[in-house]
Amino acid sequence: MIMRRCIIKYYLWSIILTLSFLFLSSCASFGPTKPNPVFQGPYPARYYELAQKNSLLVEELGKLPEIQDGISALEAFALEKVVEIYNEIPNEFDDAFKQMYQVGFPEVRKYCSPLQALFWLVEDGRLEECRKILNTYYLDDLLTSAYDFRINLSMEQLTKIINTLPQEEQQLYDGVTNRNSANNITLTLFKHSPGCFSRESKKLIKNAKSFLKWEDFKTVVERLNSPELINYYERMNFSYVPYGQRQITADHVFRYKKGCCQDFTAFSVYCLKKAGYNAKAITVISPSGGHRNHVVCEYKDKDGQEYILDNSCRGCGSGKGITEKEIYIKSFRQVGVGYW
């Protein structure tokens, strides 16, 4: 009798957990986004010139998160510089913007992420760099210039910071003479143990603020609103570890920046679904030849073509980013749907 009750309880809990998962999978947080409303102004005077020349560009600029809460003095200056660059090279700007606009689903994404990246460069005063990018536009060139996931402190600033850390944390820098390595250690320590830093040190780190744009999960997911953007972000940020964290959630791998094939896939599927893509996890034959299968993200692009997004297990030869499914499956045969 007791055994029977235990079995019944087990099955009841199994049903409850399954229903809970299905409910969560269908709730709003898993659904696609909606475009931001266009900010109605007021805008800088010169900005209205642009509306007469490229109304779609003006509309997309008005959807950027930087503009949504009102226009600061720096943002007003940046918008005027955008108009200035447009007037200098209108044809090149138009051609580049056409390509930017096609990244993701305009009717679903909150805003045009490549346009935001260009706006960041203008805000930073990197105008000549913007002109070069627009003259020979290529998405990866724009992302390489605008998407900075690091901090960039001078040796003098790093020394000040290190000297104020507790002795145990200072030991992390023993033998480190390379500035980039010291910056990486500082960023990792700041993310996981911010209490170790003095108020002055925190201010120095936060002033090197590029990486702060990439700290909030929801904000980053909304920005990564196309396969190309997700692919770039994963290649630059995520490291593969066998069998991962076992959490298999998008926010977990985002937080720790490492995981196995299941973790990478969970992040890819989540971002793609939020961006309006038909995406799912599938299992394929392990590229390493081991007894475990390999999990990757399958999605359909605008043309209805099926693709595989796989940035994990790069050493095994499978993590090549975006590949047409037909080509990918010739090497790594599909054996199921979902997680193994």
Structure-block tokens of residue 175: 């033998």
Q: Are residues 252 and 308 in the same domain?
A: yes
Mean pLDDT for back-to-back runs of 10 residues, the chain (340 residues): 43 39 43 94 89 95 94 93 96 98 97 98 94 97 91 87 92 83 84 86 80 88 98 90 72 86 94 97 83 89 94 74 92 83
Q: Are residues 193 and 255 in the same domain?
A: no
Q: Are residues 244 and 333 in the same domain?
A: yes
Q: Are residues 91 and 176 in the same domain?
A: no
Q: Whole-prediction pTM value?
A: 0.80
Closest of 109, 106, 107, 95 to residue 138, by C-alpha = 95
Q: Are residues 92 and 72 in the same domain?
A: yes
Is 5 a member of any domain? no
Is 24 a member of any domain? no
Contact 147, 98 (CB under 8 A): no
Q: Are residues 68 and 113 in the same domain?
A: yes
Is 20 a member of any domain? no
Is 18 a member of any domain? no
Per-residue pLDDT at 24: 39
Per-residue pLDDT at 75: 93
Q: Are residues 179 and 94 in the same domain?
A: no
DSSP E strands, the chain: 239-240, 258-259, 278-284, 294-300, 306-310, 321-324, 334-337
Q: Are residues 130 and 61 in the same domain?
A: yes
Is 14 a member of any domain? no
Per-residue pLDDT at 215: 85
Cα 130 to Cα 118: distance, rounded to the nearest angstrom: 7
Q: Are residues 198 and 282 in the same domain?
A: no
Q: Are residues 64 and 142 in the same domain?
A: yes
Domain that includes residue 173, residue range: 155-207
Residue 21, amino acid? F
Per-residue pLDDT at 340: 63
Q: How many CB atoms lie within 10 A of CB 297?
A: 28
Q: Are residues 187 and 249 in the same domain?
A: no
Per-residue pLDDT at 240: 84
Instruction: List the CATH number of the domain containing 296.
Output: 3.10.620.30
Is 193 a member of any domain? yes
Q: Choose the final residue of a domain: 117, 146, 175.
A: 146
Domain count, the chain: 3
Structure-block tokens of residue 248: 């298999």
Contact 141, 133 (CB under 8 A): yes
Q: Are residues 59 and 136 in the same domain?
A: yes
Is 3 a member of any domain? no
Is 253 a member of any domain? yes
